[in-house]
Structure 1
Amino acid sequence: MENGQDPAHSCPHANLATTDTQQISTPLPFVNKNDEPDVLLADDNSNNIDLTAYTALKHESTNLFYQTFIQTASSVVLASIHTQFNVILDSGCTTHILWDCEYFWVYNPNAAVPVGTANCGILKTQACGQAHFCAHVNGQHIIINLQDCLHAPDVPINLLSVRLMVEHDLKLLFEKGSMSIFFPNSALSFKCQSLQATVHNHLSFLFCGFICPTKSSDILAFSSPAIASSLFPCLEVTPALWHLHLGHPGQDTTKAVLIKNYVNGVAYNGSLTNNHCIPCILGKRPACPFDHFQHRASAVCYLLHMDSCGPFPILFTNGCSNHFHSILNDYSNFVKANWELKLGNRVKAVYSDNAKEFISGDLHDFLISQGITHQNTAPYAHQQNGKAEQYICTVEDTAESMMAWLGLPMSFLGEAILTAQYLQNCLPTSTLPSLITPYEIMEGTKPDLSHLQVWGCGCYILYPSKIFGKGAGQRFEAIFVSYKEDWIGW
């Protein structure tokens, strides 16, 4: 809504709790707070104006009543303005929003999207399309085409986006008491011509003569999405499907998992083809291999690589994180926190860059207290921490490719990163011997990938009867976004 105001203050209808707009035919006069006039009040039970007079007395209690009346009178005046104008110019709207479906010449229900409002609510829309309105400029009639308008029956008044107007080279001049819309210089016939809007209570009102299609055949309508089948389709197992299950790895990695003895739970006997994955193109960046700058450790826990990534421009779904840390075991390339308990080896050294979170504070003090050597790169030489940098790039590319395939908002990036880390532990890597994965180094057995699902696929979650009780349904629809280690199920 306009200028981030609450919708109840930016749309006239929202203030009309006690006034019928159809009953007011004459605008009420504005009240000057410096005078002591008789006050005209709207009578809700008739079509006329109640001429009952009230005298504003000069004492404190009456002033409170007087201020309350001024606010009420403003709503009544707005009701009268709404009978003359049907559009508000909104600088907070990102697109045009219309309330009447009869205005649309192109109507596409598939393109409807929910709209967030300034009071943290959601305005539901039913379609997106085109509308036309007629404007009068210096005695001439101009037909203006509005693209990408949303149909929202619940919007109190039609809203035209100031941002879209500016993007289409229209110039808007805001002055005290008025607002002008100037046509772009490319419109030679109307160069330097303008539409005038009426400003009241910091809102810019305009009358647009919307042109409705004369008959339904004039409307270019799009069919609604087909209703999904009640049966789950049986998908053919292909390398492309396994590519999605494995988190969009490279083609060589996908082939190695399918035809070599790296993992258990994968059975594929078909042909192998090279397919271009569009989400991989969108999510992965070209990069040369990173140098490691040190000798490889001879056992698990002897050397850990640490690095951090972030901050990202949005919080993850946990509501408190916008970055992540990685701790990579040099010997196995496995990422997990309980190595010492699992294998009995003690951590001897940690390698990181010169970031403040690593070289000072609680982490630095803890490493010293445990007798762990802390090795650092040279200042501003992140590339010297090549192994951790390369791992973070791999995890980021995997997560962003999965996000690109599904089209989820950025807030799900945290779940995508955790899933990418989970999958990378089970996939082949060039730094380990043939047919060995990081998981096998740590666990002593090959990983079983029979439980893998496509990240972001639809799923139906069972309602716990102890929580929801009887009659609440058995399942609810959701999307699959993460694995839980050491869990039976998803």
Structure 2
Amino acid sequence: MAKNGFSVQFKGDVYYIFDVCGSKFVELKMKNNGFYLKLDVVCEHVYRAKDNVSPLWHRRMGHFNRRTLKHMQSNDFVIYLPMLNISDDKCDSCQVGKSHRLPFSLDGVKRANMKLELIHYDLCGPMKTSSMNGNKHFVLFIDDLTRMCWVYFLKSKLNVLLTFKEFKIFAENQSDCKLKVLRIDNGGEYVSNEFNDFCRDSEILHQLTAPRAPQQNRVC
């Protein structure tokens, strides 16, 4: 198995075999006699998986579904594509990527009636790769009424307050409305004394939500 790129793992009374892509394709439990399985059974699983390279090409082609791979193979769309034994094995990455959360209930939710009456605001970053201008963060402003979005790119979290001041002046001038409520999570960059002082001086209600709780924002 090691020579063919496979790996094994023992965990409790379960025995796992992973293929060359690192995906689990065999999971067997320990027998009553204390043994996991016979060598011939291991070889049967390993060599069957060795001949089936469809999981590998599934990843190479950007996680195409099995039906698309079969269509590509039958029509010779890809040069040097081997004959694939298309199986129904599930891809762990695809399963995780297709998982979703149920929509948040909107019962009793109060929406803004005017522009800039309520602004949702959040910061994302730092990113592993910076932009061409050296930015690794970005801030997003969303108007609760119109769902208008503004995006500002930042090199550091230290520029959060300055960016908010720029946004406030720009949005108020363009809309002829006054920013009234700013709703953000409880991140440290939003609760500094300087940030709170600016909101108080500008008569902006500073609302904080629990971290990693988008249900409180009601903005999907």
Which structure's CA Rg is the greater one? 1
- What TM-score, normalized by structure 1, do the two folds share? 0.20
- What TM-score, normalized by structure 2, do the two folds share? 0.42
